[in-house]
Structure 1
Amino acid sequence: MKKIIRKSFKRELFLGLFLVSLIPGIVISLLLVKVFKSRLASDYQAAAASQVTSVTEALEQYFNLIDETQLAIRSNKKIVGGISETDSWQKNKAYTALYEATENARNVARFNIYDIEGNLVFTTSTEGYSESIPTYWGILKVSFAHPDERIIKKAVMSDDEKTVIQIARAIVSGDECVGFVVTDVFSSHIEEILAKSYDESYGIAILDSFYEDVYSTRTGKEEALAALIRQREFDGEPLKQEDDEVEFFLSRIGDTNLTLVLGKEPVLTDDITRTMWGVTTVIILFSVILCFFVANIISDYLTSPIIKLSKAMEKVKGGDLDVSVHSSRIDELGQLSEDFDKMTDELKTYMELQVKQQQEINDSNIAMMQAQLNPHFLYNTLDTMKWVAKANNVPDLAKMSADLAQILRLSISDRKFITLEEEMEMVEKYVEIQQIRFGGNFTFDAELPMELEDCIIPKLIIQPIVENALIHGLKEQEKGHIFVNAYSESGNLKIEVTDNGCGIEGEILEKLNSRDREKLRGHIGFFNVDTILRLYYGDNFGLKAFKPEEGGTKVLITLPLTKERNNDQSPRC
């Protein structure tokens, strides 16, 4: 299948357009579903959090009111004194004090006063409530053991089915516990609190510290939230799990040991999820059909001029340069057709020009071979001058002629690379000529280790630098000195040409190191050597000029250290 598609640009284009259209549609549809679910879940979480906060605050205020009332009761001397009082008049005063202390809370809870034996002494109940509570276990025992704490427990000691929570505090007189204040919270009291802050679509349960169900709404009982959470807590499992049929939220109620649980069916049920995926599938199928037709139309539109160009190119390959492609389109493909016609016209013109230029090249080659006779003629003339000077006893002229002849012979040879020893011999010949010319006004020294004599370098790279040092560095210098030092470093051959002349100005130094031909006018030898080295070895090699602190000028030549050459005289590292 892959080979079939790749054999046709139209099929490749069609497949590309089809995939480019289809994949974003699928991805966008999936993202929309995900974003919708995420937004729905986020809104649901926010609403649930708001509901939990509202209910928790209402219950916290309720239990704080009860706590404040209990504290007021245990600090009321008339009530505390009336616990052990047998006089009816004093008891009536204690009752009156109890009703005054519970004025703001007795409509939302029942307050009972028990003596140290657990016998009911006072109550705010109007229904003849007279229940006693044992002190050897249960809430009174815990309260006796912790007289300074508020004890909240599920109502298991009450015969009254309406009571769901009991809150107890010990009543202390001096350092002795003389009784207890126990508040009974009815389910109706909690329902009254919830009615002001509760959405009945949620199920609510209040659990004690052992995750026992203290109170549940009807929905909460049906969903068995308390039993579910308690079982997971005892089994050591996470309280919330992904496969829960009910989403629930937990919140501590103030500083009590009670926990509020709010539960509700998930916002995204299986039916809603299936509907969403069904709609997404329909959208994707519609996109596939639409993409198929659009991709087919676009691929035909784009490939038709390419097919015409392909046929025209086949004719050009066969040697027909008169072929042309006419197109009425003004887009890039129309421009391509127009450029193809221009190309064939220019190619035809170029072929004709090539025939003419080949003839000119042949003529130039003949002229170049004739021109090569001139340097050989000059070399032979210098050799003749040497022997004439010797015959007439003019040794300086004979030496200059001999040295110049050797330099010329090396420069016109076909060898592009020579040994470092050969290069230094040619430099010494050049220096001998210049010393005769300048009457011995400068000296020259060179240090060439024996192990470097056979290093292969391009010819004529040291002589131009020595010439620059002589002409520019030692200008107007009476006792000039030029020193050439060759050494190896890190696998490279380095050659220093140093003079003790007038030094080099900063502006000229910058020009020499710029590798800019326009800036190096007047220093063309320096530029040529640097260019030759970079062309042969790369931009990391070449020339670098310095201005030493002791004066004068130093030029550093850097090239790879090579000692072998192949048959065409090119160096090998």
Structure 2
Amino acid sequence: MKGIASFRRYFQNSFRRRLFGAFLLCSLIPLLLSLLVLFSAFRGSRKEQVDKEGRESLKLIRESIIEARDSITLALQELSESVELKRALTEERKERTEVNRLLFSLTEGLRDTVRFDIYDKEGNLRYSTAPYLESRSLPTDWGILQRATRADSPVYESSEGSDSRSRLFQIAVRIKGQREGGDKEISGYVLASLEEEAFRTLLSGKYGVQNGILLLSSYWRPVYSENILLPTELFSTLREEFLRGNPLEDSTGEFIYTVTPIEDMGLYLILRQEKPISKNMNFLMLLLLFLSILFGAALSFLMGSMMSRRLFTPIERLRSAMREVTLDHLDVRLRESEDELGELAGRFNRMTEALAENRRALLLNQETLLKNQKELNEAQIRMLQAQLNPHFLGNTLDAMKWMGKIHQIPEVAEMATDLADILRFAISPKEFVSLEMEIEILKRYMEIQKIRGFSKIEFHLTVPENLQNAMVPRMVLQPLVENAILHGILSEGEIELCAAEQDNELRILVKDNGKGIRKELIGPYSPPKEDLGHHLGLYNVDTILKKHYGERYGLTILDRKEEEGVCGTIVLAVLPLQRERLEG
């Protein structure tokens, strides 16, 4: 599947390849189909021719065998009905000369291929067309004579049941005698034997020298074969396939077999033929087919490549020019012509000219817009940084006044000093300060808060030494700590400020162990639609971070109980880690 997907992507990623593939397919598919049709037609024609030859040969062989059988059977019938022969077998007189003359007369024309023997009722050989009369006998209680005794018509026996393998067939009839009371009795038997050489002569020239003939008994055992040498186990295989109606082939796949039965003789005639297309011929045809396809593919490849290149060259120029445009090279131009592609090139040239003009106007507008936006951001940042909590300043001054009047204690001087430092830091023109300086101002702020009455609030710092020189926007920590005091722990608790470096970012966390925060405020900081002044410090810090560093930076509100298992709130500030001072 991966190979198919890669092949598909190879063509889908290029218009030229798809065009070339289309030309190649349009020329190859008709050629391939034509060659396959011709190849199939030749194979079919050759198979039909071989099948026809096989049927004709089997028909001719079968007719020859039946004709020979009928001639032999007729002679046997005439001999079995001969009165002279019956008298010679039943009476004491032995008219051998007269019987032999009768025997040779009735078998005229058959004696060259068939041997005729006459046996008496005890199975002793009495007369024969053989050159020498043998002294032999056949059993009458089994075998072919026993079968002839019971049959009213000739009986047949193939060589698998004969004493001699040279005798292919034997045909026997009984000779009926006549008793005085009119009853019939057996006088003897007439037996015709067809020799193998005679059978070969009978079939000569009827099935082709390249073919083979095979004669099987009713049990599919070999009786006669010519040009065939088959293993015994193949006969059972051929019989099973024949009974199933399947085509007959041997294990080599080089030959086919055609079967026709000779029912009344209990024989099966099989013709073996070479396959219509031998393995060598099939190989040569496939090789020729492959070479033709290869030649056609090469020719199609050459023509398709030439045509696709001629059509694709202007498109490739347009493609390259469009790539240059995507790289902001708007001075690229195409050569125009009078055809459709030339018209397309002219429109492309006019488009690039219009784009170049629009770009110049856009750059001018962008410069003006950026300048105005920068001035607006700077003004907004300065305004936000100048916003100190008015409640803090009012309460601090009021505390300083009354403590100075009533108690006359030194904390007033300390508070005044801290407040002066904070005010000077707040109105400083520096937009960015070191984290160390920001923490120092935060400490002054916490000293003022303790004097104001928040002495039960413990403040802890966890800031690594290597982050002391990190640059941060001015006055971003004080609003976060103040938010924890006013909305978190109120009058008693702990506040912890931590700083850490992660992925080249500075992460500042302000933790408290107060009452926690509402669920709807957890997550990236989003200013509430109503009552913005309730968390004005968080809004200002988040806005300053986003204005300076972009939307990916700012504040995140976390539930401390979910994060650390302690009740309270965590405010996380994320900004880039910068160790050099930024201007503007």
TM-score by length of 1: 0.50
Larger radius of gyration between Structure 1 and Structure 2: 2
